[in-house]
Amino acid sequence: MTAFDWHDGERVVHFGRGRVAEAPRLLGDGYVLLTTGRGRSTAPGVADAAAAVFDVGPGLVDRLAEELLGVVPADAGLIVGLGGGRVIDTAKAVAAVRGVRAGAIPTTLSAAEMTWLHRLPASAPPGTAHVRPAIVVNDPALSASQPPGQLAASAANSLAHAIEGAVTTRSNPVARLEAGEAIRLTARAYAGDPSSPDARDDLALAALLSGAVIDSAWYGLHHVLAQTAVRVGGAGHGPANAALLPHTASALRDRGADVSAEAIDLARRLAERAGAARLRDVGVAYEALDACADAAAARPELDHTPPRAGREAIRAIYEAAW
């Protein structure tokens, strides 16, 4: 796959195999790196060139960002997340509060590097603007590097961005074109061996495109339910998306959205490959479904995929997915 640089407003995306070797030059001097042990091991040169490196532990983004605000240097001009969605969203949240630029080097297909969507810490001043990374280095050798089961869960999250972003009230022709190509690339990757370099390149580009979709078109029913299964039900982010997507995609189609049967079937196959065919497979207890339904029903983003799902409809989706 041909490497490219995408200049998009304040953001520049550098995509292609081998691009991570260029990251220290592309990021410039003095950047602060937020990462994990896995991230550090996949891109040691990025860590070595950083002015300071801080580890991001497990947990919720708003709480992690709150903790890091106390240790990240106040004079950091660029805060870079090297890792999955949790790490990159945490870097975005810290940068938002500090009023500085964010950068991102993804090690999963989360597409967090492409969006302005992230939570803010409780201490963020009112009116704090969300940020999207101004410099993105997406090397498929990193962004599509997960083992097969985790890769399938991450691909399901990417597929969810494409399916849902294409049908929200904020969708547009460009987003729908990007979504269609992301779905095509994902299907092609899983038509053969998804662990092959070519397939992983397809998945990395699909995630980048589907991230651009949700960046412009936002989200609705699916992402509300998946995010709530994580925050309230205790599931992992990728597995929650994988387990729910066949059901939420079908619910979107039942609501009149243009979601193909082929896309829904692909979602089912990804869930099976991820070992996430049911919510109970990913750690959500049956007793948590009512609390998940209560929390999800209160989310305003449900209005983006009309008709707005009510609490009972949401509970029924959770039940079907459990």
HEC profile for 294-309?
HHHHCCHHHHHCCCCC
pLDDT at 55 over 90: yes
Q: What is the mean pLDDT of the chain?
A: 96
Nearby residues of 256 by Cβ (< 8 Å), 6 or more positions away = none
pLDDT value at position 225?
98
Domains of the chain: 4-143 (3.40.50.1970), 148-321 (1.20.1090.10)
- Are the C-beta atoms of residues 135 and 27 closer than 8 Å to each other? yes
Distance CA 290, CA 300 (A): 18
- Are the C-beta atoms of residues 4 and 18 closer than 8 Å to each other? no
pLDDT value at position 169?
98
Q: What is the pLDDT of residues 138-184, one digit of tens each?
A: 999 999 999 999 999 999 999 999 999 999 999 999 999 999 999 99
Angle at the Cα of 189 (from 92 to 273), degrees rounded to 5?
Answer: 80
pLDDT value at position 70?
92
pLDDT value at position 179?
98
Confidence bin at 117 (pLDDT 50/70/90)? confident
pLDDT at 1 over 80: no
Q: What is the pLDDT of residues 185-235, one digit of tens each?
A: 999 999 999 999 999 999 999 999 999 999 999 999 999 999 999 999 999
What is the model's pTM? 0.94
Q: What is the pLDDT of residues 280-318, one digit of tens each?
A: 999 999 999 999 999 999 999 999 999 999 999 999 999
pLDDT value at position 281?
96
